[in-house]
């Protein structure tokens, strides 16, 4: 099939590339000239595992092309995907100006029937608004389909190629038929294509992400309680997760959820509820708890240093909001750095992929190390903010020789407690026993 994808951000680019991989002719459009030129020259603007291979293969096979010319992309396309940003507006509601603007532009350009697919996360009712725009600006018939993405950064290619489910919001039988053909290669394993009305489809996306954010937040609160009650969150997690109704996944406590989706989507659903005079209490609490959780590591640091960290120096492992991405949007590490600086401390950081993005935020206010060991030089403590695999099994001998004091605050529970006792570290993690060094004796002490 001939497809146009409008917007070459993270979602658009993964979508376009993966659609080309199953033999479709895909033209990706963006208004950013420099970005399009970069991709025309075969350069990927984002880091996403596995995307590189598919990107180059489909460009060389001429199934994947890039342009700034919307008219050219739209002309022959049977299906037009919109993967445009929906940033939170000043009031927390999703800003729809990009989507509605693109719909108007497309309406002026088309001369025959098209299926317009919305991939962006949008408030309930957006498909109706997009349909209304087409009705206003053209006599040509279109079907507007809601098709939310469920792509996790870091495994987005896999998520697209083998989705748990494909959600399609449309009541048009013709659109259903074409979209079923398009997605058939991706659901061969038997995972469902779920058809529903547009509004239910739009809400499904918000409901899924808000539920996951709630699940994490619930575990973060259980972890905080574990510390006070002398329980171990790892044990509690396993005990809970073995119940199939709860499930093992997404139960890992940490320093709060981040990224470009969860914070924005939870906020947007709260806003939509408020607008409809519904008080979504649980989600409001989720937002509040997550704010506190993002700096819980700094609270622990300040307590350890007797309420004064001015003049102290800290090393941070991990900046990206999660491993296998360079994305630092809403990353807890950013809040941690800011809180440390606000309290008069200095900071050195290392992340395998996120350094450039953080440089553009903190510039020369912090130090940027070249590896996970040199970042420890002169540090009074190490703080771990992202669970990159490379941090999981470090050379402790090398570390101990560099770091002045053996003090670790771990926001991602990377190490076994027994190991830290053996190594003689002060080790403060999330929802587990505090390992303290007292009078040359390692004591496993509950807080």
Provide the terminal-to-terminal Cα distance of the chain, rounded to the nearest Å.
Answer: 61
Residue 226 is a catalytic residue: no
Binding-site residues for substrate, in ranges, read 150-153, 205, 250-254, 258, 322
| Identified catalytic residue from 18, 28, 226, 261 | 261
CA distance 327 to 325: 5
Round to whole Å and give the CA distance between 63 and 400.
52
d(CA 427, CA 48): 32
Nearer to ligand UDX, 36 or 286 (CB): 286
Closest C-alpha among 314, 294, 287 to residue 254: 294
Rounded CA separation 247/377 (Å): 41
Kindly tell me which of 257 and 425 has the beta carbon lying closer to ligand UDX.
257
Tell the burial category of 42 from Cβ atoms under 10 Å away from its Cβ (0-12, 13-18, 19+). Answer: exposed
Binding-site residue set for NAD(+): 30, 35, 86, 121, 153, 264, 329
Cβ 152 to ligand UDX shortest distance, Å: 4
> Smaller CB distance to ligand UDX: residue 179 or 216?
216
Nearest to 266 by CA among 405, 391, 121: 121
Binding site for ligand UDX (CB under 6 A): 149-153, 209, 212, 216, 250-252, 254, 257-259, 261-262, 321-322
Q: Which is nearer to ligand UDX, 73 or 339 (CB)?
A: 339
Q: Which residues of 208-231 are buried (b: 16+ CB within 10 A; e: fewer)?
A: ebbebbbbbbbbbbbbbebbeeeb
Calpha distance 372→403 (Å, rounded): 11
Write out the catalytic residue numbers: 261
């Amino acid at each position: 099939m001939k497809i146009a994808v409008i917007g070459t951000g993270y979602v658009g680019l993964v979508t376009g590339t993966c659609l080309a991989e199953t033999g479709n002719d895909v033209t990706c459009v963006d208004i950013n000239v420099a970005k399009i030129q970069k991709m025309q020259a075969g350069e990927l603007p984002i880091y996403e595992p596995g995307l590189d291979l598919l990107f180059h293969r489909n460009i060389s096979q001429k199934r994947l092309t890039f342009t700034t010319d919307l008219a050219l992309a739209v002309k022959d396309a049977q299906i037009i995907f919109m993967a445009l940003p929906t940033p939170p507006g000043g009031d927390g509601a999703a800003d729809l100006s990009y989507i509605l603007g693109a719909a108007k532009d497309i309406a002026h350009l088309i001369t025959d029937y098209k299926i317009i697919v919305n991939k962006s996360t949008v408030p309930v009712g957006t498909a109706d608004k997009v349909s209304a725009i087409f009705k206003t600006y053209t006599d040509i018939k279109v079907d507007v389909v809601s098709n939310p993405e469920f792509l996790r950064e870091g495994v987005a290619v896999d998520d697209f190629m083998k989705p748990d489910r494909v959600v399609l919001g449309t009541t048009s039988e013709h659109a259903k038929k074409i979209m079923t053909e398009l997605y058939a290669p991706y659901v061969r394993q038997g995972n469902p294509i779920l058809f529903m009305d547009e509004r239910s489809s739009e809400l499904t996306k918000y409901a899924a992400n808000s539920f996951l954010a709630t699940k994490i937040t619930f575990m973060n609160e259980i972890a905080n309680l574990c510390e006070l009650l002398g329980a171990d969150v790892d044990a509690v997690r396993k005990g809970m997760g073995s119940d199939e109704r709860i499930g093992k996944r997404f139960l890992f406590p940490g320093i709060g959820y981040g990224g470009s989706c969860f914070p924005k989507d939870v906020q947007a659903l709260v806003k939509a509820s408020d607008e409809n005079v519904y008080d979504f209490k649980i989600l409001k609490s989720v937002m509040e708890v997550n704010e506190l959780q993002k700096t819980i590591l700094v609270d622990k640091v300040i307590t350890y240093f007797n309420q004064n960290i001015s003049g102290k120096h800290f090393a941070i492992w991990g900046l990206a909001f999660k491993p296998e991405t360079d994305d630092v949007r809403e990353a807890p590490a950013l809040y941690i750095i800011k809180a440390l600086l606000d309290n008069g401390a200095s900071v050195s950081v290392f992340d395998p992929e996120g350094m450039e993005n953080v440089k553009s935020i903190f510039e020369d206010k912090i130090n940027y190390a070249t590896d996970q060991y040199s970042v420890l030089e002169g540090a009074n403590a190490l703080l771990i903010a992202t669970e990159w695999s490379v941090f999981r099994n470090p050379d402790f001998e090398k570390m101990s020789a560099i770091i002045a004091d053996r003090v670790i605050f771990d926001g991602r529970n990377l190490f076994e407690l027994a190991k830290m006792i053996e190594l003689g570290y002060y080790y403060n993690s999330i929802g587990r026993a505090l390992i303290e060094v007292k009078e040359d004796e390692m004591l496993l002490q509950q807080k």
